[in-house]
Chain A
Amino acid sequence: MSTNSTHTSSWSKPVRIVVGLVLVVALAVAAWAITQWIYKQTLPFNIPGKVLEYPLWALLVGLAGNLLLKLLNLKETLRPGIRTELFLKIGLVLLGAGINLAVIAKAAGGAIVQTLVIMPTVFFFSWWLGKKFGLDEKLRAVMSTAVSVCGVSAAIAAAGSVSAKKEQVSYITTLVILVALPMMVIAPLLAGAMNLSDPVAGAWFGGNIDTTAAVVGAGTIYGEGAQEIAAIVKSTQNTLIGLVAFLLALWAASHDPKTNNGKPSAKIIWDRFPKFVLGFVLASILFTLGLIDGGKGTAIDALKNWAFTLAFVCMGLEFSIREVRKMGWRPVIVFLIVTVFNSLVGLGLAYVIFTWLLPIR
């Protein structure tokens, strides 16, 4: 990074944060303007422009911004202002403010069954396949958690639990984002081609796509009903980050006593627990009780969309093809195979659970 030194390297961190945030907001406004224009268009084959929802444009604008920052040698300087997770979590809490708990109650049974089946299945398949490909144990732990639980947050939690190297975390995080981006667009198209109902499609996106942002994006592209179920299934998985991190910490403690001198405690679970899930549930309770209104067309709903737009812009800005090149290809192959496995198992489970076992409506 010191090789990229420019006059901007002398900027203080608050300045870097503010300038970075201003850039992110400016790009989000550009993405919004493109979205509004596209919504008024009719695409080939009479497809309404509205099918190309805002996450796609926010992402593309973010990628364009990424390229521009690289050309100007400003990416590292402005990185402190690029806050994907922050915007994403704000958006998720606001999303909760428009979800009636009655819907969660209807979907939660299916979401829990789906999660309890798919998570260990995918985790241990990934673990086994990674071993076959000769991957490092810690890398396997981070990758398996990222694919089976919920992407970036899970990868970070798992890395902390097993004391993984930072480069392993960035490796998996980049892979997660790299694969989630096309999945966000491809999964709704495939769901449409298979004529999946909103609950089945949403459950598939929620159980299959690795990042919460891309899950919400895919659900948004497919439809409001799918978005709700996708968020619920993903939130169900998110709630298990703490448990997985705890189990991994136990495993690491027994395998690597020098770097893990502690007995994993309840505090680890609490520390790993994604707090936005609490906000999501609390906001939903307030909405269900009629104390707040975050339904469609409200200011909260609009700000939710803005928060997600900002998150997707940040995802585009953070994307790094160089990281992928540095990593080599074996873990990429394992990750892709596991992703396909996850997709197939997830689709089958979502269909069986939300069509026959625990259908919604």
Chain B
Amino acid sequence: MSKNRKHLDKPTPKSWLNEDWLAVILAFVIILLAAIGLLGPNGLPIRF
């Protein structure tokens, strides 16, 4: 709990930066898999 009292002395929260890039990479993996046909009607039929 004492951690909550600390100031954010590091102006760049690295975990958020990493999560940002991770999201972009994962999204483009999905896009790539769809582009080469592994996801979709001729591959894994993902629906919502």
Contacts and interface: CB of A to CB of B under 8 A. Distances in A.
Interface of A: 1, 32, 54, 83, 85-86, 88-90, 92-94, 97, 153, 156, 159-161, 163-167, 169-170, 249, 259-260, 268, 271-272, 274-276, 278-279, 282-283, 286, 291-294, 298-303, 305-306, 309
B23 to A, nearest CB: 3
B7 to A, nearest CB: 5
Interface-centre pick from B12, B22, B45 (highest chain A CB count, 10 A): B12
Interface of B: 1, 3-13, 16-17, 19-24, 26-28, 30-31, 34-35, 39-40, 43-48
A232 B9 CA distance: 33
Contacts of B21: 275
B10 A160 contact: yes
B34 A292 contact: yes
Contact of B24 (A1, A89, A286, A301): A89
Nearest to A36: B48
A196 B9 CA distance: 45
A160 B31 contact: no
Given A89-B24, A166-B3, A300 B48 contact: no
Contacts of B24: 89, 93, 275-276, 278-279
A58 to B, nearest CB: 12
- Interface hub of B7, B8, B17 (most chain A Cβ within 10 A): B8
B16 A303 contact: no
Contacts of A268: 11-12
A173 to B, nearest CB: 12
Contacts of A278: 24
A94 B20 contact: no
B27 A298 contact: no
B11 A299 contact: no
Contacts of A286: 31
Contacts, number: 125
Given A160-B8, A160-B12, A166-B6, A90 B46 contact: no
A167 B23 contact: no
Contacts of A88: 23
A291 B35 CA distance: 8
Given A32-B48, A83-B19, A94 B13 contact: no
B11 A169 contact: no
Given A89-B20, A276-B20, A292 B7 contact: no
Given A86-B22, A303-B46, A305-B48, A167 B4 contact: yes
Contact of B39 (A1, A159, A272, A299): A299
A165 B7 contact: yes
Contacts of B9: 163, 259
A101 to B, nearest CB: 16
Nearest to B43: A299
Contacts of B48: 32, 54, 301-303, 305-306, 309
